[in-house]
Chains A and B, each alone.
Chain A
Amino acid sequence: MIIIYDGTFSGLLTLYYGLLKNNINPLLITKNRKNFLSSEIKYTKTDSLISDYMFSYIKDKTDYDVLRNIYLGYLSKDENVLVNTFNYMKKSIISKKNLIKDLSDYDILKLNRSIRNTEGEAHRFLGLVRFRRLNDESYYSVINPDNDILPLMAGHFKNRLNEKWIIHDINRNYCLIYDKKNINYYKVDRFEYGKLVEAYHEEEKVYQNLWNNYHESIAIKERENRKLQFQFIPVRYWKYLIEKY
């Protein structure tokens, strides 16, 4: 059975509740309304009461880490993992403990892989975010991650940067805005990367220039190793960096 949900985390939890209750094994869980050939397509409705119930139910039956793993599975770029995540949740609830280390189980192995991918990418982007200081004294950055990693990065930058900052996920068209008090999520309707330059603070170009110079002069020319460099920063990530390869 193919199930279509609204793409929110509480929507997913509501869906998992329904699957557990009716003992259904789904074939695919997705948020895209494509035309499937299969006739067995089901749409779910999000109910915050049910998702709140599921939240505490999972936490009581197993532990908080299971909930975290489900959330990480939800953030993954690979939608197929949602089914594996469901199976992992079901097995954990049945055995009343967190089974995340049971790598000989196929579902859990798949979930483990995508968690590693998501968390790894989130950690990498803690370094690869490049803020540009704008006219209005805010710091702006654009990133293009594969997984939906903004929620995982929010806390880090909140602790670190005591300025107004914005991190914009250009692949999903939404951004995080921190106003020195709270972090909020906003949808981005229209954005042109090329026009960002016009909003730069007067100092910004100088610092970008300094950074590019530094990036070049710190390399030991005799030991150039581009292959290694690209292993660490794949080509697709260079697009929104300040430095160029």
Chain B
Amino acid sequence: MNMEVIEKLNILSGAAKYDVSCSSSGVERKGGNNSVGNTSSSGICHSWSSDGRCISLLKILYSNDCIFDCAYCINRKSNDVKRASFTPAEITELTIGFYKRNYIEGLFLSSAIIKNPDHTMEMMLKVVKTLRTVHRFNGYIHLKAIPGADAKLLREAGFYADRMSVNIELPSEESLKKLAPQKNKKSILLPMKNLGDGALEICQDKKKFRNTPSFIPAGQSTQLIVGASPENDFTIMKLSDNLYKSYSLKRVYYSAFVKVNEDNRLPDKNEKMVREHRLYQADWLIRVYNFNVNELFENSKKFLDYDIDPKSFWALNNLNYFPIEINSADYDTLIRIPGIGIKSALRIIGARKYSVLDFENLKSFGVVLKRAKYFITCKGKYYGFIYKDAGDLKNMIKDKKNGLFIKLPYEKNLPEVYGNDNYL
């Protein structure tokens, strides 16, 4: 390990930080006597960076020396940034060294496109293959599939990686044409389809033959940038829903647009974080809570309501379902109550076998009642406040920062002295 590697690591991890995915869960692999490591199905976070995101994988690019010129990307060809490339040996050494010190759970390897997609994919495959076969590394590996690379290479990589992902980048074909002219819809969706089919095929083989090798056991994911192009939330959620259903993806990651390049094709400002946040919330609702995309949007509006979370939004539009009696409602009904998630619902169901629950019980379980109290009854009694209509209730459950504290008129006309920061 020399100084050169430190600099390379700085450049190539700094370039990889805009990739969102960091999960290390979903695979259980045992360690052996001659091998390094194992994988735990729960996933483990090893540290948290100063932006509050978890670090569980060594997230690096193989190289940032790109031949493509995508408007939003920091590594595009026309940018004047320091270029660097690892060698496969450096990456394996780094990964094993970090892994043995328990810094990381595995490797997340992505890359800019050097020379051509096939060459890039070949080099990445070489890294993963060396890790798995020579070093017998059993930790988690997330590999980016390079759009346009040969299907055979991608398939071979699938036998070594735990998860693969093809970035869909932007929510529509027109935006892709405008901002990433060298990529097209086919080059992204085709590998996704191939990987999905491969996983399905192996899954069926496994039922017949015991020794079938596993093929991307943690499934596929993808990522798209929100706010770099004019698509609305409804289009994005429909797209995700479609990806989950017809490509059997495990996750779609959203990344609010951060402006790193000056380009007249791009919007002037960074996208607001709250949009990304609400999209993730909506994503969980359709993926885990069995919501339908149409339920999360009002007929005319194509954007999510950023003041309240999507589940509360649905509840306010369907007040006729509420209040729900928590002592009798089934699981599917319970998880539709704003503020009650899967854990709370299971706790309620576990506890009500023994006794009839009242409001105090719920509080002591740790069920978050801030929003839930307006939508439930306990032993037939309602504990919220009496509201006239949905708008009234909405004001009540908004985030406190914007909603509950009414600005008093004198705050605007305060004397100079109170405006001074030293007094506050």
Contact = CB atoms under 8 A, between A and B. Distances in A.
Contacts of B78: none
Contacts of B49: 215, 218-219, 229
B58 A214 contact: yes
B51 A161 contact: no
Interface string A199-220: 0000100110111011111111
Nearest to A208: B101
Contacts of A245: 50
A216 B55 CA distance: 11
Contact of B56 (A127, A207, A226, A242): A127
Contact of B50 (A126, A129, A139, A219): A219
A206 B14 CA distance: 19
Contacts of A159: 30-31, 38
A211 B46 contact: no
Most chain-B Cβ atoms within 10 A of its Cβ — which of A207, A220, A242? A220
Interface string A208-245: 01110111111111111111110111000000011101
Nearest to A158: B31
Contact of B48 (A129, A210, A232): A232
A94 to B, nearest CB: 14
Contacts of A156: 40
A23 interface: no
Interface in A148-177: 156, 159-163
A65 interface: no
**Which of B45, B52, B58, B353 gathers most chain A CB within 10 Å?**
B52
A65 to B, nearest CB: 13
Given A102-B354, A103-B361, A156-B40, A224 B103 contact: no
B44 A126 contact: yes
B247 interface: no
Interface centre among A109, A156, A210, A233 (most CB of B within 10 A): A210
A228 B52 contact: yes
A93 B56 CA distance: 42
Interface in A176-216: 203, 206-207, 209-211, 213-216
Contacts of B35: 162
A52 B350 CA distance: 31
B9 A232 contact: no
11 contacts: A101-B353, A161-B37, A206-B1, A209-B6, A217-B17, A218-B17, A219-B49, A221-B51, A223-B51, A224-B51, A228-B51
